[in-house]
Structure 1
Amino acid sequence: MALHFPHSHPPAAGEMTELAPGVYWLRMPLPFQLDHINLWLLRDGDGWVIVDTGFPEDHVRETWSAILDKLDGPVNKLIVTHFHPDHLGLATWLQEQTGAPLWMSSGEFLTAHVVWNEVGGHGARFMVEQFRQHGLDAEHLAKFEKRGSGYRKAVPALPDYYNRLLAGDSVCIDGRNWKILIGYGHAPEHVALYCVELGVLISGDMLLPRISTNISVFAATPEADALRWYLDSLDVMAQEIPAETLVLPSHGLPFTGVQERVGALHAHHEERLQALEASCEQAPKSAAELLETLFNRQLDTHQTMFAMGEAIAHLNYLEQDGRLLRHCDAEGVIRYTRTGH
C-alpha cells in the first residue's frame, strides 16, 4: 500500500494551513540542499503553541514576525523536538518575542549546550579525531578543523531554562492530550507528539515520507548502535500509531501510512547494510573508504560530515550484529571485514 498525501501543496511563506482542528502548518526555508522545514502552530484555548522554530536567518525572523502579528492570542508554549539548528535555532529569539516557556526533553536541551560549548566529546576537535580513526583523508580533516562544528553560527543563543518532557507524558493543548513519544538514533531524545483524538502525529525528523533521516554516531559515544536505536524507535511508533493517522513530518508533505513507511525504511537500511557487507568481503575497509558504497555520489564538506556519521552508524550495527569484524591498524585506522555469517 502506497503512502497517501492528503495535502499536496505546502503553505506559502507567512501563511498557515489548517490540517486538523486547531493544527496549522507553516513552512520556512533552509539554506541547505534540504531547502525547507515544516513548523506547526496549535490552537490552545485563547492562545497558541509553537512546535519547532526554524533556522536563524533574517527572512525567517521576518516571516515569523508576520505570523506572530496575525495571532489572536498569546503563545503559551514553545515545544522543540530536538537540538538541531533548524528546530532549535530561533528558540531564544521566539521566547524574546512571545514570552513563551520552552519545553524539550533533557537529552536535547543538554546536548544543545555541550555541542554549543564544544565540551564533553562534542565539537570539531573530537569529530576530526573520530573521522581520522575511521580513515578520512588529511585534506578533508583539515577542512573540518578549519570549519569547526558550525553549531554556534546556526544557533546564535541558547535558552538557559526549560520544562522537561518525558516519554509517556501528556501535554494538554486546547483540552486535548498530546502524548510524548521519545525516539532515538537521529538525536539523543527526539520528541514526537501524538494526539489520539485528532489522529495526528507530529513526527519531527523521526519519520519522513521520502528520505531517511540522518543517523550518525558522534565522537562522544563511539560504540553507539544508533541505527538499531532508530529502527527500534520506528517499530514502537508503528505498533502504537494507527494506519490512518496523519503524520506531520519536519520535511516533505504530511502523509498517512505509518506502517508502510516504517517497513520501507527497514528495507532501505537493510539494503545499505548488505552493500557494506559485500564491500568488506575481499579486503578490510574503513568508513571513509565505504562512503562511495553508501552514497554513490559526490559529497561536499557539509554532506561528508553527515555521511561519515551515517557510515559509522551502519558499521557499528553490522559489527554488533556479528556481520563484520573490526580491526585497528598500526596507524590507528579502524577497518572492517566480513565475518562470513
Structure 2
Amino acid sequence: MATNRTTDAAFVADESFVPTSHKGLTYPFGGREPEDGGTMQVAPGVRWVRLNVPGPLKHVNCWLLDDRDDRGDGVALIDAGMNRTETRDAWKSVFNGPLAGVRVTRMIGTHFHPDHIGLAGWMCDHHQAPLWMTRGEWLTAQMLVADARPETPQEVNDFRRACGWSDEQIELAAARGWSNFGRIVRPMPLSYRRLVDGETIAIGGTAWRIVVGSGHSPEHACLLDEANGVFIAGDQVLPRISPNVSLGITEPESDPLGEWFESIAKLKREVPADVLTLPGHGDPFLNLHIRLDAMDREHRGRLDELEAFLDEPRRVVDCFGRLFRRAIGQEVLGMATGEAMAHLKRLEVEGRAVRETDGDGTWRWRAI
C-alpha cells in the first residue's frame, strides 16, 4: 500500500497549512485554494487550477502535471473547464502569469461533461497538443457536439411525459432548445489517444495507472500515482456531495447505479486508502475508502427508502421528495429525473420493484 510521501513533501512541511476534518475526511490544505488566474502546488510536480462554472457546483478543478515530450518540458493538463469567455480568460492569466512560457504537452479529459472538457479542443489547438480520453467518453462527446438539431426530439418529450412531467414543464424545457452541448464544448480533434483501463502511462518521470469507473459517465478515467500516493479522481469521487448518477433517453435499459456500486468496490480494491485524492469538485482530501463507503451507504439507503415509498404505484416525479433534500425546480428537473430513474431501475434489477405503464403512457413503479 502506498504511503503519503507526497503528503509529507507537499504540505506537512508548510506550516501555513492547517488541516481540517469533516465526516472522517482530512483536508490537508485547510480550505486553502488557488487564487484566480493562479496555480497551487498540491504534490511534487502536481499543480491545481480552480475555474468558476455556473450552477450549484460553482467551480471545477483542473490539474497540471510536470511533463516532457519530444519538444521539451511542459505540463500535461487534466481537464480544462467549460467553453466560456470567463474560463478562457482565466487560462490566459495562468499561462501569462505563473506558467508563462510553459506549453501543454497533452490534454487529458477525465470524462465528457462540459465543465471538464468544454475547452479541451481549444487547448489542443492552442498548444498543438494531442487529446487523451477513454473511447466511451470521446465518442459520447463527439456525438453530442454533432447533434445540432434545434428542436427537442419527440422521443425525448415522450420520455419526459412518461416520467410524469407536466405539459408546462415539457414546454419550458423545449423552449431552452435541444442542442446546448455544442455551445459549451469547443469542437475537439478528430484524432485522439485512447486511455485504457489498467494501463500505465508515463507523465514526466512518474508512472500513472488509469483506473476507469462508470455510473456518473460511461467510461470515466481516473489516474493513480501509487508510488507517491496521489489519485486524480475527477467526478468519480467527490468529498462532500455524491456525483449525479442518471438514467436517460440515450440508454434507457441501462443500470448506471449498479455500475456505480461496482466502481466503488473496484476503487476500494485497486486504490490505496491513504492516497491524496484530487477531486473534480471540492477540495483535495485524505481517507479515500471512508468516502467510498459513505457514498455506497448513501445510495443503498436511498434505495431502501424508495422501496418503502413504493407501497403504492408512484411516478418518477413523485419520488423526488424521498431522494433529494431540496426542492426540484425547472433548472434541475432533468438531472433529478435521471437520478430518480437510475434508482428505480436499480430496484427493478434487484427484483424489488416493477414498472407498469398507465393508459396515457405514464410509468409507475410499485414494490414487489
TM-score (norm 1): 0.94
Q: What secondary structure is seen at the aligned counterpart in 2 of 1:244? A: coil
Q: Deviations over 1:54-96 (max 9, x none)?
A: 1112121111012123244321110000111001100111112
| Correspondent of 2:75 among 32, 38, 48 | 48
Runs of 4+ more than 3 Å apart: 123-127
The within-5 A match list for 1:55-204 is 55-69=82-96, 70-118=99-147, 125-149=154-178, 150-204=180-234
The within-5 A match list for 1:1-341 is 2-7=24-29, 8-45=31-68, 46-69=73-96, 70-118=99-147, 125-149=154-178, 150-281=180-311, 283-339=312-368
Identity of aligned residues (%): 37
Stretches of structure 1 lacking an aligned partner (at least 5 in a row): none
| 1:4 maps to amino acid | T
CA distance in 2, matches of 1:181, 1:124: 35
Shift of 1:118: 3.1
User: Is residue 118–residue 124 contact of structure 1 (8 Å, CA) maintained in 2?
Assistant: no
User: Is residue 328–residue 335 contact of structure 1 (8 Å, CA) maintained in 2?
Assistant: yes
User: Is residue 215–residue 259 contact of structure 2 (8 Å, CA) maintained in 1?
Assistant: yes
Shift of 1:158: 3.1
Shift of 1:156: 3.7
Greater mean alpha carbon deviation, residues 207-216 or residues 138-147: 138-147
Shift of 1:124: 5.5
User: Is residue 120–residue 188 contact of structure 2 (8 Å, CA) maintained in 1?
Assistant: yes
| 2:295 maps to amino acid | L
User: Is residue 245–residue 258 contact of structure 1 (8 Å, CA) maintained in 2?
Assistant: yes
Q: Deviations over 1:127-153 (max 9, x none)?
A: 332222222211111122222342122
CA distance in 1, matches of 2:329, 2:357: 27
Q: What secondary structure is seen at the aligned counterpart in 2 of 1:47? A: strand
Q: Deviations over 1:231-284 (max 9, x none)?
A: 110111011111110000010010111111011011111121112112111x20
CA distance in 2, matches of 1:294, 1:30: 25
Shift of 1:126: 4.1
Shift of 1:116: 2.2
Q: How many residues align?
A: 335
| 2:27 maps to amino acid | F
Q: Deviations over 1:105-129 (max 9, x none)?
A: 110111012222339xxx7654332
CA distance in 2, matches of 1:158, 1:44: 22
Greater mean alpha carbon deviation, residues 142-151 or residues 299-308: 142-151
CA distance in 2, matches of 1:296, 1:92: 37
| 1:295 maps to amino acid | F
CA distance in 2, matches of 1:71, 1:226: 42
User: Is residue 55–residue 87 contact of structure 1 (8 Å, CA) maintained in 2?
Assistant: yes
Instruction: Assess, with a 3 A threshold, how the Cα gap between structure 1 residues 126 and 48 changes in structure 2: closer, same or farther.
Output: farther
CA distance in 1, matches of 2:91, 2:200: 27
Shift of 1:159: 2.7
